[in-house]
């Protein structure tokens, strides 16, 4: 059975639909055009709270009943949204507790969206009630295939309700104020708290000296956790209301890939399926969406995910909203499928006439007919996905290399003061991911809950904050034969952002076999170098490195590379430690990308991990497999055709139904999906 719903055993194709913006005669035309484009799922009503609950005690579902039935009659399934992402104006007027207080301490007024306080009793009461009423009403509808809670949960609130809930959250976490004072290190700057009421949300009026830099990190980190959990609780309460009536339909909420304020790793535990909204621009390097897809796939241990939103053409919110050039919409969507998406869903199906999304791309544009370029491309892709049937549905990506991604680490490292404003998490993650992507080596993004033993190589760039017990899990992984790679500024602090004394990298000192005495921050125009001798021929050479240079003492580790400049010239910059049956590497500075590529290639080769295929630049290869069949995706991100050597693989291209072997030509922005029966690969 497909993971999301057995009612639609194919790659779902459709998207957000706002029939409430249109008269009913347009609905008929929409259904006709949906059929023409092979659209089989519509998400609605994402922002219709004001229509569904026009007054405090009155709900109106008549129009939704009508369109639900019409869609079902046209063979279109429904992904039903709970509509709680933008509260009605009457609610804000009558119950101001629903309005957030922002980071600057300003009480918001009605307007925009996503501005409900997550600890507002009014918001929780009415959001849960609406979700419950919808679940009661539509749970048994045959066209219902998924639940979509709210929309793109986001932002933090700093109001008095949140302050009060924060104190309760802290009491639960720390028990006593004495323990909180100890764990928060409140002896610093006279921060000792005598009463719980003295603790207030950290914002620009209190602990922040810049919008992204608190001066008292322990409280800021806990507020990150608390606000993420508050919104998660709102989502969970809606989920529970739905489940009471609709226990068998998959429930999701749409994520925004690496959205820093919310710990999606924790959120994903509450969902049946992860879904997310992907909006690469024409200038987004293709490795970036590959990283986002892998991150979303990793949140539920490799389970396929839903591409809930993407634009068929341009967006309305980038600085320069370029059109998707012919062929690239198709390519971007196959890239999502190649990394584990089991749906392709657009925002939006019909283009709004007014307000901020009127120039956001749509399947049916303002022209309103099926002759536009974008519609024709969408319809062509719809026909292809229709022909693919259930071929790749629920097939899994298998990787032997993983990159650790931890939201709490992200919050802590970027909250902290020093050592460099350019030390940021995403660029570090991207750099190591990119090196693997360029070599067509499958990689999973994993959370701190993922079992490390599934992998041969685990990379944890700048693992500054170590969760309790995580160092022991790394030690066990390496002792059992794993290859672990970590970098500068790792192992520095505990879960409260308090330094682990006794030499960095703290709890990672044993497994890495080094201790770090100091760390130097380089100006952007300064470079040091890492010089590697001929001990490991694949790494021999001198490589630029900068950002932060750790001054390292090797204990049990072997020195593989040394600095060539500054007073720490000749001291270790790159080390390898044998630990049990495995090895742990420490990269003391931020090296040039070429070095990262060489190192990861060397480590993969050592472990027998080979590229799926060796290809020209920007030709991406991924693999999904199920039930003895593998699907090798070859994606040409270049505008010009390329030739790709299949390295002995023989099979059928699912898109052209042609038998392929040897070397094949892939057209500009083209895609090949080579289906092979496992064992058919000759080398
Ligand atoms: Zn609030």
d(CA 618, CA 615): 8
pLDDT tens digits along 219-265 = 999 999 999 999 999 999 999 999 999 999 999 999 999 999 999 99
Ligand 1 centroid distance, CA of 118 (Å) = 6
Other beta carbons less than 10 A from residue 402's beta carbon: 24
The pLDDT-based confidence of 116 (bands split at 50, 70, 90) is: very high
Ligand 1 centroid distance, CA of 228 (Å) = 12
Ligand 1 centroid distance, CA of 195 (Å) = 21
Edge-to-edge strand list for the sheet holding 275-277: 250-252, 144-148, 77-81, 41-44, 12-16, 341-346, 305-309, 275-277, 254-255
Ligand 1 centroid distance, CA of 279 (Å) = 29
Query: Across the chain, which distance is largest between two alpha carbons, in Å?
Result: 77
Q: Is 152 a catalytic residue?
A: yes
Residue 677, classed as helix, strand or coil, is strand
How far from the centroid of its chain's Cα atoms is residue 418's Cα?
26
Other beta carbons less than 10 A from residue 291's beta carbon: 26
Ligand 1 centroid distance, CA of 18 (Å) = 29
The pLDDT-based confidence of 3 (bands split at 50, 70, 90) is: confident
d(CA 304, CA 302): 6
- Mean pLDDT of the region 478-495: 98
Tokens of 659: 């038998």
CB contact set of 503 (below 8 Å; sequence gap of 6+): 509, 515, 516, 517
* Intrachain domains 12-156+229-393 and 619-677 with the same fold: no
d(CA 435, CA 599): 9
Question: Distance of CA 550 to CAs 193, 410, 424, 493, 518, Å?
Answer: 36, 20, 16, 16, 6
DSSP state for residue 318 in the 8-state scheme: S
pLDDT at 681 over 70: no
The residue from 238, 309, 357, 507 that is catalytic is 309
Degrees (nearest 5) of the Cα angle 414, 416, 422?
A: 50
Ligand 1 centroid distance, CA of 630 (Å) = 49
pLDDT attached to residue 4: 92
Residue 216, classed as helix, strand or coil, is coil
Burial label, 567 (beta-carbon count in 10 A; 0-12, 13-18, 19+): exposed
Residue matched to tokens 């002792």: 479
Ligand 1 centroid distance, CA of 191 (Å) = 24
Please tell me which residue, 35 or 2, carries the higher pLDDT value.
35
Degrees (nearest 5) of the Cα angle 663, 639, 294?
A: 80
Other beta carbons less than 10 A from residue 80's beta carbon: 30
Question: Distance of CA 548 to CAs 414, 504, 529, 673, Å?
Answer: 15, 14, 12, 42
- Mean pLDDT of the region 372-376: 98
Burial label, 479 (beta-carbon count in 10 A; 0-12, 13-18, 19+): middle
pLDDT tens digits along 660-671 = 999 999 999 999
How far from the centroid of its chain's Cα atoms is residue 231's Cα?
17
Domain spans, the chain: 12-156+229-393, 160-223, 401-606, 619-677
Ligand 1 centroid distance, CA of 652 (Å) = 56
How far from the centroid of its chain's Cα atoms is residue 109's Cα?
31
Q: Is 377 a catalytic residue?
A: no
For the chain, the average pLDDT equals 97
Phi-psi region of 444 (alpha: psi -120 to 50; beta: other; left: phi over 0): beta
pLDDT at 491 over 50: yes
The pLDDT-based confidence of 115 (bands split at 50, 70, 90) is: confident
3-class SS letters over 280-296: CCCCCCCHHHHHHHHHH
How would you classify the pairing of strands 528-532 and 541-546?
antiparallel
Give the phi and the psi of residue 85 in degrees, each rounded to 5.
Answer: -85, -10
Tokens of 636: 């040409």
Tokens of 385: 């996905």
Phi-psi region of 418 (alpha: psi -120 to 50; beta: other; left: phi over 0): left
| Cβ proximity of 404 and 508 under 8 Å | no
Pick the CATH number of 401-606 from 3.40.50.300, 3.40.50.800, 3.10.20.740, 3.40.50.880: 3.40.50.880
The pLDDT-based confidence of 1 (bands split at 50, 70, 90) is: very low
The residue from 132, 152, 238, 475 that is catalytic is 152
| Cβ proximity of 513 and 579 under 8 Å | yes
- Mean pLDDT of the region 460-489: 98
Give the phi and the psi of residue 473 in degrees, each rounded to 5.
Answer: -70, -35
Ligand 1 centroid distance, CA of 93 (Å) = 16
How would you classify the pairing of strands 401-404 and 443-446?
parallel
Pick the CATH number of 619-677 from 3.40.470.10, 2.60.40.1180, 2.50.20.10, 3.40.50.10160: 2.60.40.1180
Q: Which of 634, 630, 633 is nearest to 619 (CA)?
A: 634
pLDDT tens digits along 185-197 = 999 999 999 999 9
d(CA 517, CA 515): 6
Phi-psi region of 111 (alpha: psi -120 to 50; beta: other; left: phi over 0): left
Bridge partners of residue 565, in order along the sequence: none
Ligand 1 centroid distance, CA of 158 (Å) = 5
The sign of the dihedral angle between the CA atoms of 27, 33, 39, 43 is negative
Long-range Cβ contacts of 185-193 (<8 Å, 24+ apart):
185/218, 185/496, 185/498, 188/216, 189/215, 189/216, 191/216
Record: fold of 12-156+229-393: TIM Barrel (3.20.20)
The answer, yes or no, to whether the previous bond of 348 is cis (omega within 30 of 0) is yes
Tokens of 129: 């009630």
Ligand 1 centroid distance, CA of 122 (Å) = 11
Give me the helix-helix angle, 373-388 and 328-338, nearest 10°. 30
pLDDT attached to residue 679: 55
d(CA 136, CA 208): 45
pLDDT attached to residue 2: 56
The pLDDT-based confidence of 114 (bands split at 50, 70, 90) is: confident
The sign of the dihedral angle between the CA atoms of 662, 665, 666, 672 is negative
Q: Which of 31, 93, 96, 90 is nearest to 57 (CA)?
A: 90
| Cβ proximity of 458 and 308 under 8 Å | no
d(CA 585, CA 532): 14
pLDDT > 70 in the chain, percent: 99
Q: Whole-model pTM?
A: 0.98
Which protein residues have their CB within 5 A of the ion that is ligand 1? 117, 119, 157, 159, 161-162
d(CA 437, CA 633): 13
pLDDT attached to residue 680: 45
Phi-psi region of 303 (alpha: psi -120 to 50; beta: other; left: phi over 0): beta
Ligand 1 centroid distance, CA of 97 (Å) = 8
């Amino acid at each position: 059975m497909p993971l999301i719903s057995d009612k639609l055993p194919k790659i779902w194709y459709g998207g957000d639909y706002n029939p409430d913006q249109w008269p009913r005669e347009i609905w008929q035309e929409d259904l006709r055009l949906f059929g023409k484009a092979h659209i089989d799922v519509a998400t609605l009503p994402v922002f219709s709270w004001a229509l569904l609950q026009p007054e405090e005690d009155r709900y109106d579902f008549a129009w939704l009943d009508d369109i639900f039935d019409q869609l079902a009659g046209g063979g279109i399934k429904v992904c039903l949204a709970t509509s709680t992402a933008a509260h009605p104006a009457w609610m804000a007027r009558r119950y101001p507790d629903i309005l957030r207080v922002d980071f600057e301490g300003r009480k918001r007024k009605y307007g925009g969206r996503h501005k409900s306080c997550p600890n507002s009793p009014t918001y929780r009461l009415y959001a849960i009630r609406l979700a419950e009423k919808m679940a009661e009403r539509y749970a048994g509808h045959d066209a219902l295939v998924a639940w979509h809670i709210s929309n793109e949960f986001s932002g933090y609130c700093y109001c008095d309700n949140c302050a009060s809930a924060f104190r309760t959250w802290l009491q639960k976490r720390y028990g006593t104020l004495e323990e909180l004072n100890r764990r928060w290190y409140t002896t610093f700057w006279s921060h000792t708290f005598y009463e719980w009421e003295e603790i207030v949300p950290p914002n620009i009026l209190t602990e922040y000296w810049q919008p992204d830099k608190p001066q008292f990190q322990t409280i800021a980190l806990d507020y990150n956790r608390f606000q993420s959990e508050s919104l998660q609780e709102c989502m969970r309460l809606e989920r529970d209301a739905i489940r009471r009536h609709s226990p068998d339909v998959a429930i999701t909420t749409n994520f925004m890939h690496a959205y820093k304020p919310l710990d999606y790793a924790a959120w994903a535990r509450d969902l049946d399926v992860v879904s997310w909204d992907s909006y690469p621009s024409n200038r987004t390097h293709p490795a970036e969406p590959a990283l986002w897809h892998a991150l979303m796939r990793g949140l539920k241990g490799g389970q396929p995910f839903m591409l809930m939103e993407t634009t068929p053409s341009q967006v309305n919110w980038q600085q320069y909203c370029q059109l998707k050039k012919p062929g690239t919409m198709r390519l971007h969507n196959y890239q999502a499928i190649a990394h584990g998406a089991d749906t392709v869903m657009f925002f939006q199906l019909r283009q709004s006439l007014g307000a901020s999304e009127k120039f956001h791309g749509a399947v049916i544009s303002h022209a309103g007919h099926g002759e536009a370029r974008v519609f024709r491309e969408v319809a062509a892709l719809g026909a292809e996905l229709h022909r693919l049937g259930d071929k790749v549905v629920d097939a899994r990506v298998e990787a032997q290399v993983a990159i650790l991604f931890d939201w709490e680490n992200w919050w802590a490292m970027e909250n902290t003061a020093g050592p460099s404003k350019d030390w940021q998490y995403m660029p570090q993650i991207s750099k190591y991911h990119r090196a693997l992507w360029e070599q067509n080596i499958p990689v999973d993004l994993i959370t701190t809950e993922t079992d490390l033993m599934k992998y041969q190589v685990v990379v944890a760039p700048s693992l500054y904050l170590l969760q309790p017990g995580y160092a022991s899990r790394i030690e066990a992984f390496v002792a059992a034969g794993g290859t672990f790679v970590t970098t500068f500024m790792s192992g520095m602090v505990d879960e409260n952002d308090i330094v682990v004394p006794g030499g960095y990298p703290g709890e990672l000192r044993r497994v890495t076999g080094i201790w770090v005495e100091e760390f130097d921050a380089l100006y952007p125009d300064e470079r040091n170098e890492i010089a590697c001798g001929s001990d490991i021929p694949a790494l021999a050479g001198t490589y630029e490195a900068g950002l932060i240079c750790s001054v390292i003492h090797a204990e049990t580790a072997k020195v593989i590379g040394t600095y060539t400049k500054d007073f720490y010239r000749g001291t270790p910059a790159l080390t390898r430690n044998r630990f049990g049956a495995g090895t742990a590497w420490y990269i003391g500075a931020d090296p040039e990308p070429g070095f990262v590529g060489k190192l990861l290639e060397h480590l993969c080769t050592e472990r027998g991990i080979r590229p799926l295929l060796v290809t020209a630049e920007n030709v991406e290869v991924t693999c999904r497999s199920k039930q003895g069949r593998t699907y090798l995706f070859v994606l040409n991100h270049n505008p010009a055709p390329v030739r790709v050597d299949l390295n002995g693989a023989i099979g059928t291209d699912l898109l052209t139904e042609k038998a392929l072997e040897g070397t094949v030509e892939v057209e500009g922005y083209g895609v090949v999906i080579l289906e092979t029966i496992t064992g058919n690969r000759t080398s």
